[in-house]
Chain A
Amino acid sequence: MLDSIAPSLEPSLSAPPGSDVWTVEQAIAKLSHKDTGLRYYAAWWLGKVLGTAGTDAEHHAAAVDALMLALQDEADRTELGGYPLRRNAARALGKLADRRAVPSLMVCLDCDDFYVREAAAQALGSLGDRTCIPALIRLLDGGVAAAQLVPGRPHLTQPYEAVIEALGALAAIETTDLIRPFVEHPVARVQYAATRAMYQLTQNPAYGERLVHALQGSDIQLRRTALSDLGAIGYAPAAEAIASSAAENSFKLFALKGLLEHQLRLETTEALDERSLQIMTLMDSLL
């Protein structure tokens, strides 16, 4: 994790023997294998392989169909009643960029497994289909007052971070007033998610500066979170502060890449602008 260039939310998985030469068809078949461990791995594999490399349209569509089916899996359960395969299938669907998955992912927002709801919200945020906005908004019912830790569990009642980040990514401007109070939520990660979304929804630099300030925090995990948030919103004035923050170069490099990509999308001419050149010079120094 520390050395990864893309901070990943995936659990670490040990690959089963032979999986390095799976074809897409074989991986799809493994999604209904009697060994639930293999099913779990196959869902992860499809997200990773098809999410980065791509394949022909027919296989891609077949993988999406099979993963949508896996969202209803009943066989793979944890002691606490969770659905590991559903979680991985939702994460994979978030990477496969096929909006046909949106309705089934919306159903997952009502799943009683917190982590399925979280994975579904993240996937919906990355698929970019705004029809899921009302379903995401429902998870914010009760506002900050309802956003409490579940006794005995390491998470809140709903996956607020994921939901708020998704609404920000989907540019759900109608949720601005709903999200604003979460900027003061007692859990720092929720605060950051809300700050990041508020920047995306309002473009108010005060929110970007709040995240820059968070780079000075004393907790390394939170500094990494702030780095990834700044990268996600592409807040260019943060470039210097990112490069000099106290975190691993991999995290800083990835955040600056986010800034650069945002900047490049704004460019209209053939020549690179000053800001892009400045960001790349900083990236060079972090290699």
Chain B
Amino acid sequence: MTAVRALADARLEEGIPALIQALGYNNPGAAVMAVNGLVQLSEVAVQPLLEQLDGYNYGARAYAIRALAAIADPRALDALLDAAVNDFAPSVRRAAIKGIGSLHWQLLAEDDRAIAQTHVLETLLLVSSDPDWANRYAAVVGLQALAVALAKTAIDTSHVSQLSTRLAALAQTDPDPATKARARMAQQHLRQLSQPLLVA
């Protein structure tokens, strides 16, 4: 654990493989420290994280996905989209669903950005009907973040209205009280940004 902390604090690119390894120690304290270290290293950690996603250890994978989501580099988009829909581990899916909503879109060229945001929106709308409340909850968090980004960048407003219609439906009718409340919180947040377009 002390070794992981020292490595995380050092912020050295050479330390990345060891930090990624620490995600799989089954030691939550060490893993959290390693995630923080990787997030601080930011972009240079993205490629190694993607290459070393652990297909056999869902605990390690959840931490890696959390790190990728926090770094928010759009190069992780495909991995995050896949994990958001297909991973069997709930903790991995939740982290990915939240992550796809809040990528650093400005790192993408305008055309790529539009395509990527369309994929993300479709995926978030899909998982917003997941049977598991926690995935729907995470989808609301993702939709809120995407709405903020779309309000700044989108040329096509149909995405925005699709998104706000879905949030309104979740806020009214989701069977889970926590998810329903989170959708109301998202609406409240978007209203405060005084973006009338965002609130159906």
Chain A residues engaging chain B, CB cutoff 8 angstroms? 2-5, 246-250, 253, 257, 260-261, 264, 271-272, 276-277, 280, 283-284, 287
Contact of B28 among A246, A253, A261, A272 (CB under 8 A): A246
Select which of A2, A246, A257, A287 is within 8 A of B97 by beta carbon.
A287
Query: Which of A4, A248, A257 has the most C-beta atoms of chain B within 10 angstroms of its own C-beta?
Result: A257
Contact A272 B90 (CB under 8 A): no
User: Size class of B's contact patch?
Assistant: 20 to 34
Residues in B neighbouring A253, C-beta threshold 8 A = 134
List residues of chain B with CB within 8 A of the CB of A260.
177-178, 181
Interface residues of B in 70-103 (CB under 8 A from A): 89-91, 94-95, 97-98
B48 within 8 A of A: no
A257 touches B91 (CB 8 A): no
Contacts A/B (CB < 8 Å), 26 sampled: A2-B59, A3-B58, A3-B59, A3-B90, A5-B90, A5-B134, A246-B29, A248-B28, A248-B91, A250-B90, A250-B91, A253-B134, A260-B181, A261-B177, A264-B177, A272-B185, A272-B188, A280-B181, A280-B182, A280-B185, A284-B141, A287-B94, A287-B95, A287-B97, A287-B98, A287-B137
Contact present for B188 and A283 (CB under 8 Å)? no
CB of B184 closer than 8 Å to a CB of A: yes
B-to-A contact residues, CB < 8 Å: 28-29, 58-59, 89-91, 94-95, 97-98, 132-134, 137-138, 141, 177-178, 181-182, 184-185, 188
> Could you tell me if A283 and B181 are in contact, using CB atoms closer than 8 angstroms?
no
Q: Indicate which residue in B28, B29, B90, B181 contacts A4 across the interface (CB closer than 8 Å).
A: B90
In the complex, chain B residues whose CB is within 8 Å of the CB of A283: 137, 178, 182
A283 to B134, CA, bound (A): 10
From residue A132, how far is it (CB to closest CB) to chain B in Å?
27
C-alpha gap A2/B91 in the complex (Å): 10
Decide if B177 touches A249 in the complex (CB within 8 Å).
no
With both chains docked as a complex, state the minimum distance between the C-beta of B193 and any C-beta of chain A, in angstroms: 16
In the complex, residue of chain B having the shortest beta-carbon distance to the beta carbon of A220: B28
Distance in angstroms between the alpha carbons of A272 and B29 in the assembled complex: 34
Closest to A4 in B: B90
User: B97 contacts which chain A residues (CB < 8 A)?
Assistant: 287
- Determine the distance from Cα of A260 to Cα of B29 in the docked complex, in whole angstroms: 26
What residue of chain B has the Cβ atom nearest to residue A262's Cβ? B177
Taken together as a complex, chains A and B put the C-alpha atoms of A247 and B94 apart, in Å, by 17
Residues in B whose Cβ lies below 8 Å from that of A246: 28-29
Are A284 and B98 within 8 A (Cβ)?
yes
